[in-house]
Structure 1
Amino acid sequence: MPRHCTLRLPDGLGAKLTGRARREGRSKQELAIEAIRDTQDRAEPEVDDVLAELMDSHAEILDHLK
């Protein structure tokens, strides 16, 4: 179920969001949700990627633990 929230933006950012929403024919809410999701996706690396990186960077240590 959606939760309601109020997002207060600085005047300049609010104006930019309003302008972009008009240009794209989308709501400010849609744009804000998309931006939050995109940021979240970039901030949370995939578990498999992290494990692969750890396996590569610590291969020698992991071999000694076997």
Structure 2
Amino acid sequence: MASVKDRISILLLVIAAVAVLWFVLSRLRFVVFISSSWTEMILIVLGSIVILFLLLDHFFNRSR
């Protein structure tokens, strides 16, 4: 059974992933004109998800 802290962590990760995907997909016409490979796009999206997750984690866990 996952603890509440683990569930909140997973929820924050899902929210960050959805936010990044929404941002990328809402501006897809700009992405089409940029010459990049699929691996570069995947790395950009994953990097953005990690950064958003770390920022949200930092702001919600200020007691440490």
After TM superposition, the score normalised by the length of structure 1 is 0.39
More relative contact order in 1 or in 2 (CA 8 Å, sep 6+)?
Answer: 2
Say which structure is richer in helix: 2
Please report the TM-score for the alignment, with normalisation by the length of structure 2: 0.40
